[in-house]
Structure 1
């Protein structure tokens, strides 16, 4: 994270001098991260581990290699397997974190799928629609259902889900994805209202350079998104946003959707 800076008057201008590093106050916190095998979830695990948190990496197949890399770097990390759409598997993962770390303070929900990309609404099969909602919405509900009773016992509990700017703006051919991410935002708000002791937020990034987004857009090769006429975030940048939101530094931020889209959703295409 960036350093704190102190301000002083200097000839009518503000001069900023570096003081001390920002302490996110999450060292020692027990964290569960779904979708942690790679992409944004893997970056979140690395970011929070670097801040001193104890991290549990959860995915359909236990991300053992990712956890081993974090342990080799000096972090406390475990890997667990859980299907995000299985209530029993998600509950077992939460119980596994509590057993390993003695509690649970932070949950980051990164598990998600795109579903059909470039497929019109009327061409989308019901099974495709249901699969997207099963992972992106029902999976998030199951995670909250299992984790919230445990988080209520934490001194500074926080949850962040990875939504998308597609919850707010629409690209053709992504009806299922857009609708699921919009539903996720309202789930975040509903959960926050019902559980005011737990801060529950979402991040809504635009395109992030991950294997999933490259696959969705048919991008391969070492250059990736280079040369495209729109900005693209890295997974590490999104992870830094999430690190702030789960930190007590953001204690006043609740039931919010942090949109990180380089300001694109504020722009109008109206030809004026």
Structure 2
């Protein structure tokens, strides 16, 4: 694992639009974001930095991570693998040491694994890899981050964990069994953890978006699928806005829940009536 600081002024907003007038009360707080090199993780890092949050960014891709840091203010770059406990422990220690405290953890690191394959064609190693990143990675990060989150909550009565799941936790597409199962596990992990931490001042919530225009989605579906999609598509910045709200004290009553942002698809009946 390597670390390096980066210091540049925050951009106006992650999608280039003007900031709204709602004060999310995040200025001066701190956060660790995993999977921050691209996609939703990058958008979340930029959105939090725009709100005045001092961020530590963790990902395996060091060069892409530095690009994210260039859009943040005084970001700490942490190159490491969330499936390696020693690297996770070192990253969390470095984040707390540099930031001085840890008010929030956002777990965005994730992989899709084999897409388009039935389970009889999926190797055990590929199945395990999906769960190692999507579920065990969050477990490792939070196991090591909880002491710092507890310390922050004891001072401010407010600390937050946000896990990035997917609408695939509640609905399924063909050929995505490992991904769907891992995201469902992540949702229940967050719910159970919120119960364990009740009364501690640490809230745990999950965001579960439908299709988001990210490099991973384009890799799975093909870039052509986004040229004239027959389905609604979110931007990473839109999902990041949900995350930022759940991190903020403005959502202090929201705990142990999943924000399903899927344009209402899961609410619709398949009945032709």
| TM-score normalised to structure 1 length | 0.88
Partner of 1:265: 266
Deviation at 1:270, TM superposition (A): 2.4
Structure 1 CA distance for aligned equivalents of residues 130 and 138 of structure 2: 12
Which SS does the other structure have where 1:158 is aligned?
Answer: strand
Deviation at 1:218, TM superposition (A): 1.7
- 2:206 is equivalent to residue 206 of structure 1: no
Structure 2 CA distance for aligned equivalents of residues 191 and 183 of structure 1: 12
User: How many aligned residue pairs are there?
Assistant: 247
Structure 1 CA distance for aligned equivalents of residues 239 and 181 of structure 2: 21
Alignment equivalent of 2:101, drawn from 79, 103, 123: 103
Deviation at 1:127, TM superposition (A): 1.1
Structure 2 CA distance for aligned equivalents of residues 33 and 247 of structure 1: 14
Partner of 1:134: 132
Deviation at 1:116, TM superposition (A): 0.6
Partner of 2:122: 124
How does 1:68-107 map onto structure 2 within 5 Å? Answer: 68-70=70-72, 75-107=73-105
Partner of 2:244: 243
Does structure 1 conserve the Cα–Cα contact (< 8 Å) formed by 2:46 and 2:71? no
Which SS does the other structure have where 1:111 is aligned?
Answer: coil
- 2:185 is equivalent to residue 187 of structure 1: no
Deviation at 1:144, TM superposition (A): 1.1
TM-superposition CA deviations, 1:161-203 (whole Å, max 9, x none) = 1000000001110000000000001110121111122101000
Partner of 2:222: 218
Which SS does the other structure have where 2:226 is aligned?
Answer: coil
| TM-score normalised to structure 2 length | 0.88
Partner of 1:233: 234
Deviation at 1:97, TM superposition (A): 0.9
Partner of 2:148: 150
Deviation at 1:265, TM superposition (A): 0.7
TM-superposition CA deviations, 1:219-261 (whole Å, max 9, x none) = 25xxx61311111000000000000000000000011100000
Does structure 2 conserve the Cα–Cα contact (< 8 Å) formed by 1:53 and 1:76? no
- Runs (5+) with no aligned partner, structure 2: 1-11, 13-19
Does structure 1 conserve the Cα–Cα contact (< 8 Å) formed by 2:24 and 2:248? yes
Structure 2 CA distance for aligned equivalents of residues 92 and 190 of structure 1: 26
Q: Indicate the larger mover: 188-197 or 170-179.
A: 188-197
Does structure 1 conserve the Cα–Cα contact (< 8 Å) formed by 2:130 and 2:182? yes
Deviation at 1:269, TM superposition (A): 2.0
Which SS does the other structure have where 1:153 is aligned?
Answer: helix
Structure 1 CA distance for aligned equivalents of residues 248 and 87 of structure 2: 27
Does structure 2 conserve the Cα–Cα contact (< 8 Å) formed by 1:64 and 1:78? no
How does 1:2-41 map onto structure 2 within 5 Å? Answer: 21-41=21-41
